[in-house]
Amino acid sequence: MFAGAIVEAKIAYQSLFFLTYMNLFKGEIALTNNIVWHETTIKKEERQERNGHKSAILWFTGLSGAGKSTLANALEQQLFQQGKTSYVLDGDNVRHGLNKGLGFSDEDRKENIRRIGEVAKLFVDAGTIVCTAFISPFKEDRNRVRELVEEGEFIEVYVRCSLEACEQRDPKGLYKKARSGEIPEFTGISSPYEEPNAAEIIVDSDKQTVEESVQAILDYLKDNNII
């Protein structure tokens, strides 16, 4: 009987430890109460003034193979040539470092976007136009990133493309693997993609050229006095 109580206590302790760890992992519990926010001497507005443009998050979202990374890089090339301070955060690249330990379960996908949202906010604070290329399938996660910055600083770019067109492109061979069951929880096949309700910009990558799509984004940035 005593041994049974020890086993039950051990299981309870392990469960509590696991839940605490998961909450820490998701950022729901502070590691310590002795952390304070330090305001920087140089303000965001000063950085924007020196750069000659406002800072913003251009959040490229869409199915795998829709062309998010292609458009983000093509746009940044144009911004760079115009002397704008910009950077691209790519979904695949980030998983080689910052998010290396995350998988593709719903929880890991949410944590992936939460981390990137915080990083993107730092770029905005630094006066930079940051282009993020992530499938980011869940509306709730995208909206949480939007809430991190001021109004007008989060620009959702929906790279719309039919599933059929994405499968035909399949540049990484991922759809083929997903169809054969090699990749579980693949967005568009075995995991949902929640389309944006009111994206600031929509480009149809299966109908528009890269140049046309980039120009549409540049026009938006100019019309809204970001560049």
pLDDT attached to residue 38: 85
pLDDT tens figures, 41-90: 999 999 999 999 999 999 999 999 999 999 999 999 999 999 999 999 99
pLDDT tens figures, 102-118: 988 889 989 999 999 99
pLDDT attached to residue 29: 54
pLDDT of 13 over the 60 cut: no
- The Cα–Cα gap between 212 and 210 comes to 5
Residue with tokens 């719903």: 106
Residues taking part in catalysis: 136
pLDDT attached to residue 67: 96
Q: Which residue ranges are tagged as binding site?
A: 62-69
Helix H or strand E segment including 177: helix 174-179
pLDDT attached to residue 40: 86
Q: Which residue ranges are tagged as binding site for ATP?
A: 62-69
Fold of 46-223: Rossmann fold (3.40.50)
pLDDT tens figures, 129-186: 999 999 999 999 999 999 999 999 999 999 999 999 999 998 888 888 889 888 888 8
Q: Where are the domains of the chain?
A: 1-36, 46-223
Range 183-196 average pLDDT: 88
- pTM as predicted: 0.82
Give me the helices (H) in 56-138, please. 68-81, 91-94, 106-125
